[in-house]
Amino acid sequence: MHPYAAEFLGTLILILLGNGVVANVVLPQTKGSGAGWLVITFGWGMAVFVAVWCVGPFSGAHINPAVTLGLASAGNFSWELVAGYIIAQMAGAILGAMLVYLFYRDHYAVCDDPGAKLATFATAPAILRTSSNLLCEIIGTAVLVLAVLMAAAPTIEVAGDSTAPMTLGLGSLGALPVGLLVFSIGLSLGGTTGYAINPARDLGPRIAHALLPIPGKGDGDWGYAWIPVVGPLLGGLVAAGVFCSFA
């Protein structure tokens, strides 16, 4: 499988399962309605596990522009592939979010809370304060990317092609450790902003929310939308800087 195709499919799986668990908990009349934060964080951890398990051997399973940027900045990923990876990740995130809506369409129809509907697509802060929200996204993402850089093998071979650029990714850690890592971040650092820690995870579904004909959906809170994009990207760069300082 081509690495770009793997990133597209991996991110699609991530969003379908990750935003799917949010929809299951937040929307009314589902079997999981009201199950709470622990179910959401565990569901996201398992979503990462499944996505990395599926596409890790083909692309390194970045499934996150912040991971791609951080690894490239640390010299562990080819800059030539960065744009293609990010485009594939964004496209996969948009389609994954659309599939969540299709899957739970009947439950969106009986939900009268626009905020709950948006929550199944994008993140929002518990307390809106720009500086704090941005810092939380930076720190959460830095933990993710630094863990990858510190714990993973130096390189993996992309798609089994000895002529392909050697890359590092989440798949280098193994799928289960990465899932547990994201589960840990969600439990410990997710309570302030909902731990986007991934620009594609937030921006792609937010775009899908804007495009889809969801009844009574309200606006997409675009005034906040830059924080879960800029924060994770800065977090990836911070992680690369810390790693390179000690390497």
DSSP code for 223: T
Model pTM score = 0.93
84: how many CB neighbours lie within 10 A of its CB?
14
- The rounded Cα 172 to chain-centroid distance in angstroms is 17
> pLDDT averaged over consecutive 10-residue blocks of the chain (247 residues)?
96 98 98 97 98 95 97 94 97 98 98 98 98 98 95 52 54 88 98 98 98 96 98 98 90
Q: Give the C-alpha separation, 232 to 40, whole Å.
A: 20
The length of the chain in residues reads: 247
Q: Which domains does the chain have, with CATH numbers?
A: 3-246 (1.20.1080.10)
